[in-house]
Structure 1
């Protein structure tokens, strides 16, 4: 009996899944997900992502059952568990998606060696979690693009494969043991407003976005109160949606909004090709500026104020509170809060990146770490010393103060532009703010400290 294993990782969907489609060509297929002990040991099993993952796995199992199959769940070392399932079912081959992190690539190498030692084959499929494979476009003088604009030009010229339909049937060998499906109800420490996971939910969001949101994306994506971004990043992170399908469907609509959205998909691929070429960028400066960052010990109180949304800068605090409540943050908020921590407070970017990974449901090594490096000035930004002013940015991207008032209730009754500068209030107006803090640092002082530290003075 011809048997294959479809190993799911960050690709928890049935639609447009090259690995699953290839595996389903066998007479019997084992759809397998391993709850990876290595991810837990590395500290990446954050509650919000575990809950979203549980939703995704339950939805994936439901979709497979509609097609005559089911999802097999195991826990432990991925290589050991895949080899056990392959031996139990006498599987000839295993199919999985390519990934770019150092851990994922080492896992792939270990799995290939182990399977080949048993006379089995591993097939790794590109363009499952990216629209364009990391090594598909490279400059003449390097193994990756370090600047986005030329990368995007080459990326845009690539022919994207056609999206694949979901398999009509999936026949699982009898007797393959599985653990129970996880449930978010057993997970503690979740953000109260955490979104629901799963391919069915992702496809609903996508259809709604393409129908009602994408047209105005170019005009509104930076306007914080409008909340006019797609909210699809968690589904891209867990692979419940295909970036190839998203790019195709957006391009069919045409227009500035669709073009701007596709550009964001390219940014996602850009970061993956950087990390694939420079895996150390997950933890080390991509381009060091020899910073003398403040550490977790020396900046303890400032870090706590930033994490809790009590810096005294309303837009920073609003964004950090949104993160804690939803496990998600508007992209403009991510840029501002990262700039504030790394440059205004001059705290090591890795501390901020770690906090984001602790809470973000779309917490992603490539996007998260390299966006943090971008804002810290140690990454691919061509203007590494730029500092975003949180007051100026607030007046530009939250001009009416609606975003701040939504997330910082202490300021809900402050009218007009003073909602972004509450320290200017006097007397009873200031007393009405209760315990909302004054700024923890003067912007000019923070800028001077950053310039001294970066200059090594």
Structure 2
């Protein structure tokens, strides 16, 4: 009997899973394996919200495998050591896994290939599992990756997308390969109260509902903060409980302006993946340096704390930061405006904000999080690196009735009209009634002047 190991990483599903399909087609039995990689913990990426969502995904994956006659094997420790140990226990000749884009993923793949090869085993790495197109599938003539989204999207849209694969009907797992117990949410503390549930079943249910009820109006409503007319599929994509390939096929089959706008957002995800794959250092270093001398010291620390806690005195910013803490998720428009506020209005290093987001975001993806933060800071791929998103302009445009602010900043729930976005304009007894809400940490004009001076654009 021939046996293969299928290493699950950020592809925790059974539908449209090329590594699993290849292993099943080429072997009599497979070992579905997930390794709780201690290197991820050591690097500080094992945030409670993501660990809880991961636990949901692993339980759901195991349940799906059991329905097909198999089960999930879970191990903890050094990923390379554990994969090699499982392959030896199962007498497997091959290991199949999905490719990934971070520097850690690249190094992990190289180590695993060498270690397996030393034991006479082969590693097969499959592209287009966690992204629609593999990084490097399209490149400009003069570089190994696209640095600007629009030309990338043009080429990306012209490419054919592989067909989505059906989930297997049967999975045979050999005897004698031990597993640790599956992790659970009950083992964790510090979770966001409104954290969503994970798992492939939940992802597919949400996708079906989105295609039925939400995607048609996406082009017109996706920036409406109060309406929250977004798919909320990003956590499921991050953990691979949902295939981006299947998502694009089903969205395009739905058709219309909403689907087109939504698929464009999926292309942004691929764009960031190909940037980080080509430039792994961009996870911690400026992609394009502006020679910033970011603010530090006691006053900057106070501003950072106010930003994290949602008490900057700018209601739209504070509403977004409180949503993040409560749900472990934030509307994309809110992510952009809060990032711009920290990096340009407060002139604080983008890495501070990116780290805070990764501490809380259930969809905390290195490529998308870091590259979006760099875009907002003007050190990334934005073709207008010095643009500043004015929080009042953003509030009037994307929360005109103040419903988003009133939902997340209850101190201001009784305010009507424009004052909900500018409570500091209240005077006398009215201001005293809302004195639980702080005054702005900085005047917008002063913040803009400081940023312009720092960037030499006075």
TM-score range, shorter chain: over 0.9
Q: Indicate whether 1:399 and 2:400 are aligned.
A: yes
Q: Indicate whether 1:23 and 2:28 are aligned.
A: no
Q: For structure 1, which runs of at least 5 residues remain unmatched after alignment?
A: none
Are the counterparts in 2 of residues 292 and 456 from structure 1 also a CA contact under 8 Å? no
Q: For structure 2, which runs of at least 5 residues remain unmatched after alignment?
A: none
Instruction: Output the CA distance in 2 between the equivalents of 1:178 and 1:297.
Output: 49
Q: Which residue of 2 aligns with 1:331?
A: 332
Q: Which residue of 1 aligns with 2:143?
A: 142
Are the counterparts in 1 of residues 65 and 71 from structure 2 also a CA contact under 8 Å? yes
The residue matched to 2:5 in structure 1 has which SS? strand
Q: Indicate whether 1:186 and 2:217 are aligned.
A: no
Q: Indicate whether 1:8 and 2:8 are aligned.
A: yes
Deviation at 1:362, TM superposition (A): 0.2
Are the counterparts in 2 of residues 296 and 351 from structure 1 also a CA contact under 8 Å? no
The residue matched to 2:214 in structure 1 has which SS? helix
Counterparts of 1:340-351 in structure 2, within 5 Å, are 340-351=341-352
Q: Which residue of 2 aligns with 1:271?
A: 272
Are the counterparts in 2 of residues 291 and 456 from structure 1 also a CA contact under 8 Å? no
Are the counterparts in 1 of residues 273 and 368 from structure 2 also a CA contact under 8 Å? yes
For residues 308-332 of structure 1, the C-alpha deviation after alignment (integer angstroms, 9 at most, x for no partner) is: 0000000000000000000000000
Q: Which residue of 2 aligns with 1:321?
A: 322
Deviation at 1:294, TM superposition (A): 1.2
Q: Indicate whether 1:98 and 2:99 are aligned.
A: yes
Q: Which residue of 1 aligns with 2:201?
A: 200
Instruction: Output the CA distance in 1 between the equivalents of 2:47 and 2:456.
Output: 36
Are the counterparts in 2 of residues 16 and 242 from structure 1 also a CA contact under 8 Å? yes
Instruction: Output the CA distance in 2 between the equivalents of 1:110 and 1:187.
Output: 31
For residues 395-419 of structure 1, the C-alpha deviation after alignment (integer angstroms, 9 at most, x for no partner) is: 0000000000000000000001110
Are the counterparts in 1 of residues 49 and 360 from structure 2 also a CA contact under 8 Å? yes
Q: Indicate whether 1:311 and 2:312 are aligned.
A: yes
Counterparts of 1:341-420 in structure 2, within 5 Å, are 341-420=342-421
Say which is worse superposed, 20-29 or 237-246, in terms of deviation: 20-29
The residue matched to 1:134 in structure 2 has which SS? coil
Structure-2 change in CA distance of 1:137 and 1:394 (3 Å): same
Deviation at 1:429, TM superposition (A): 1.5
Are the counterparts in 2 of residues 271 and 370 from structure 1 also a CA contact under 8 Å? yes
The residue matched to 1:29 in structure 2 has which SS? strand
Q: What is the TM-score with the length of structure 2 in the denominator?
A: 0.99
The residue matched to 2:96 in structure 1 has which SS? strand
Instruction: Output the CA distance in 1 between the equivalents of 2:50 and 2:312.
Output: 27
Instruction: Output the CA distance in 2 between the equivalents of 1:264 and 1:119.
Output: 42
Q: Which residue of 1 aligns with 2:444?
A: 443
Counterparts of 1:110-259 in structure 2, within 5 Å, are 110-259=111-260
For residues 332-364 of structure 1, the C-alpha deviation after alignment (integer angstroms, 9 at most, x for no partner) is: 000000000000000000000000000000001
Are the counterparts in 1 of residues 56 and 198 from structure 2 also a CA contact under 8 Å? yes
Are the counterparts in 2 of residues 290 and 456 from structure 1 also a CA contact under 8 Å? no
Say which is worse superposed, 24-33 or 398-407, in terms of deviation: 24-33
Are the counterparts in 2 of residues 318 and 403 from structure 1 also a CA contact under 8 Å? yes
Deviation at 1:434, TM superposition (A): 3.4
Deviation at 1:456, TM superposition (A): 9.1
Q: Which residue of 1 aligns with 2:62?
A: 61
Instruction: Output the CA distance in 1 between the equivalents of 2:57 and 2:48.
Output: 14
The residue matched to 2:74 in structure 1 has which SS? strand
Instruction: Output the CA distance in 2 between the equivalents of 1:55 and 1:190.
Output: 14
Are the counterparts in 1 of residues 306 and 312 from structure 2 also a CA contact under 8 Å? yes
Instruction: Output the CA distance in 1 between the equivalents of 2:215 and 2:144.
Output: 34
Q: Indicate whether 1:77 and 2:78 are aligned.
A: yes
Are the counterparts in 1 of residues 89 and 176 from structure 2 also a CA contact under 8 Å? no
Are the counterparts in 2 of residues 60 and 199 from structure 1 also a CA contact under 8 Å? yes
Structure-2 change in CA distance of 1:250 and 1:456 (3 Å): closer
The residue matched to 1:95 in structure 2 has which SS? strand
Instruction: Output the CA distance in 2 between the equivalents of 1:426 and 1:408.
Output: 20
Runs ≥4 in structure 1, deviation > 4 angstroms?
none
Instruction: Output the CA distance in 2 between the equivalents of 1:185 and 1:171.
Output: 30
Deviation at 1:295, TM superposition (A): 3.0
Q: What is the TM-score with the length of structure 1 in the denominator?
A: 0.99
Are the counterparts in 2 of residues 56 and 198 from structure 1 also a CA contact under 8 Å? yes
Deviation at 1:247, TM superposition (A): 0.4
Deviation at 1:23, TM superposition (A): 1.2
Instruction: Output the CA distance in 2 between the equivalents of 1:456 and 1:351.
Output: 24
The residue matched to 1:455 in structure 2 has which SS? coil
